[in-house]
Amino acid sequence: MTVKYHTQFGSLKHYEKGRVEPIDDDVKHYAFSNCFEIANAAKPYEKVVFGQNQIYVMEALRAEGTSPWFTCAHDEFALSMDGEIEIHLIKLEQAQIVKDEEKNGAVLVQGEPQGVKMGWMKIKRGHQAMLPKNTAYQFKSAQPGVLILQTCKGDLSIEKWADICQTA
């Protein structure tokens, strides 16, 4: 007998509240269980941690309007889970680069980013983009959407475990 699975992909407009579910170690039970619920309750571009492995985190962001400019001393990855999000990139001049290579996570760019414009990209549901180190990036979204960032935990990472984890 062949077992067929039906994947239901959520969105901000339609998602099921996460719940504790017995698992049998099948990967389909783990992925993106509550990023929509987290983004639905978040402020625009608030970086809410919803998964962590040592210093590495997955952050859910509500993409809405224009974000501030961010930069990072290491590469990051952005995955669009819902909506269409523009990402604008500027290769920063030396004066604005994060000096501490050991500094984890994104930081806000101080003032307007100075450097060479690298262009922009538009990512839609399921598209992933690399955010290169020492580059300023800014998100723009006309309609609310959801981004997941793969990064390291930093000063802008917000932990709301008591709010996002089901305990009973």
17 inside domain: no
Which residue range is the domain that position 47 belongs to?
Answer: 31-159
Ordered DSSP codes for the chain: -----------SSS-PPP------S-GGGTTTSSHHHHHHHSPBT-EEEEEEETTEEEEEEEEEEEPPPEE-SS-EEEEEEES-EEEEEEEE-GGGS-S-TT--S-EEPSSS--EEEEEEEEE-TT-EEEE-TTEEEEEEEEEEEEEEEEEE--TTEEE-HHHHS---
Predicted pLDDT at 85: 98
Whether the CB-CB separation of 38 and 48 falls below 8 Å is answered with: yes
Low-confidence ranges of the chain (pLDDT < 70): 1, 5-8, 18-33, 166-168
16 inside domain: no
- Six token digits for residue 114: 């100075």
Average pLDDT, the chain: 88
121 inside domain: yes
Q: How far apart are CA 96 and CA 69, in angstroms?
A: 12
pTM, whole model, 2 decimals?
0.83
Whether the CB-CB separation of 51 and 57 falls below 8 Å is answered with: yes
149 inside domain: yes
Q: How far apart are CA 3 and CA 146, in angstroms?
A: 31
Predicted pLDDT at 136: 98
Whether the CB-CB separation of 52 and 165 falls below 8 Å is answered with: no
9 inside domain: no
22 inside domain: no
Predicted pLDDT at 3: 74
73 inside domain: yes
Predicted pLDDT at 99: 80
72 inside domain: yes
Predicted pLDDT at 103: 83
As for how many domains the chain has, the answer is 1
Find the CATH number of the domain harbouring 112: 2.60.120.10
